[in-house]
């Protein structure tokens, strides 16, 4: 290996190590902020309504383009078989999806307001209250 090739290899190793460390930090952060017990169960119960909500909001042309783009990226992430945390890891495997959905919905509510999200909600009032609780919406 030449001197230049050795430097490139060292940089690649450093990048891989940094990515692994970043992933470990993210796993620890998810373990700390993950939804607890009943909240996670409630999130799984309303999942079909949440998916319909995301689809409806992303198809609504009256929503700002940035909102629709975020929702589209969220749908792609949820559809991909690769997750930030593999689903076979107990509790955290599914919690990462719930956290990302909550984070995106919070950002959307900040942008368009809770009423715009409520108008598109396909489920029951109790289900929407669960969404509000999970996403910590006022």
**Averaged over 69-85, what is the pLDDT?**
85
Which tokens hold the place of 9? 């290899």
Phi, psi of 88 (to 5 degrees): -80, -10
Instruction: Please say if the pLDDT value at position 38 is more than 70.
Output: no
What is the distance of C-alpha 120 from the center of its chain?
19
Q: Residue 90 in 3-state DSSP? A: coil
Domain ranges across the chain:
1-33, 36-135
Q: What is the pTM of this model?
A: 0.67
Which tokens hold the place of 62? 């009256």
> What is the band of 47 on the pLDDT scale with cuts at 50, 70, 90?
confident
Tell me the DSSP string of 49-62.
HHHHHHHHHHH-TT
Instruction: Please say if the pLDDT value at position 5 is more than 80.
Output: no
Contacts 24+ apart (CB under 8 A), 6-13: none
């Amino acid at each position: 290996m030449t001197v230049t090739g050795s430097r490139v290899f060292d940089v690649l190793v450093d990048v891989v190590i940094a990515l692994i460390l970043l992933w470990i930090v993210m796993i620890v952060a998810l373990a700390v902020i993950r939804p607890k017990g009943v909240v996670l169960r409630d999130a799984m119960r309303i999942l079909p309504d949440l998916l319909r909500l995301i689809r409806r909001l992303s198809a609504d042309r009256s929503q700002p383009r940035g909102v629709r783009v975020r929702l589209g990226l969220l749908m792609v992430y949820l559809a991909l078989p690769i997750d930030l945390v593999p689903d076979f890891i107990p509790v955290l495997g599914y919690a990462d999806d719930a956290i990302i959905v909550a984070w995106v919905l919070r950002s959307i509510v900040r942008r368009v307001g809770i009423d715009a999200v409520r108008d598109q909600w396909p489920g029951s009032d109790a289900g929407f209250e669960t969404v509000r609780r999970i996403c910590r919406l006022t």
